[in-house]
Amino acid sequence: MTTSLLIFDCDGVLIDSEALSARAWCEVLSDCGVAYDEAEMAARYTGYTDAMLAEAVGRERGVTLPDDILARVLDHSLGLFARELRPIAGITELLGDLAGARCVASNSSRARLRETLRLAGLSESFAAEAVFSAEEVPRPKPAPDLHAHAAQRMGFAPGEALVIEDSVTGVQAARTAGIPVIGFLGASHSLPGQGERLRAAGAGWIAEDAQDLARLLVRDVARRPLEVQP
């Protein structure tokens, strides 16, 4: 299969943020009298928007969360990110070696997405017009809207694109959009069995880490389209 556009998820693919996000949510929820385990939070809600996560927690625990819960979580998350956020090991080198079109498509808000890419030192790896947030489409992942939007805005058909995702939610979104997916396991929150879950959701390949992902993405010296090896 040959592809001309790579669509990267951000959290858990470019930046190792999901464990920090889970901690932020757990600490803010604790202040609201709602207890969650960080590992459970990361395992169950990776790939959710903050709004989706707040709705799920409220429904599951039968509580009404404060109106400013999303702002509080964002503020607390950015504080943790400023101190501890790192890019996924090896991803900076991979991006530096890749030729061809690439973009980011994330369920994060635009503000959070810009700031996390900056904090991780990845802002220069993607043009500003090649960073897409779920705020730009009617429905976030697992709906296909965001991946379809990103491909269309970048000037490619779904069959000319390839997505890299770490969550079942993201894989489902890409497959519904008609775009093949590599499931990525290189983030610190990835648990045993995640590769099988991503394959069951529709991932055609599994990359254990950035080095494994680089082996899947073969670039020739003439800067031709990337080739994906199953």
Q: pLDDT tens for residues 112-133?
A: 899 999 999 999 999 999 999 9
Flag whether pLDDT at 201 surpasses 70: yes
- Alpha-carbon torsion 90, 214, 144, 5, what sign? positive
Mean pLDDT of 101-107: 96
Predicted confidence (pLDDT) per residue in 146-181, tens digit: 999 999 999 999 989 999 999 999 999 999 999 999
Task: Report which of residues 221 and 230 the model is more confident about.
Answer: 230
Flag whether pLDDT at 230 surpasses 80: no
A 10 A CB-CB count for 174 gives 31
Give pLDDT, residue 4.
86
Asked whether the whole model's pTM tops 0.95, one would answer no
Q: Can you list the domains of the chain with their CATH numbers?
A: 2-16+86-228 (3.40.50.1000), 18-84 (1.10.150.240)
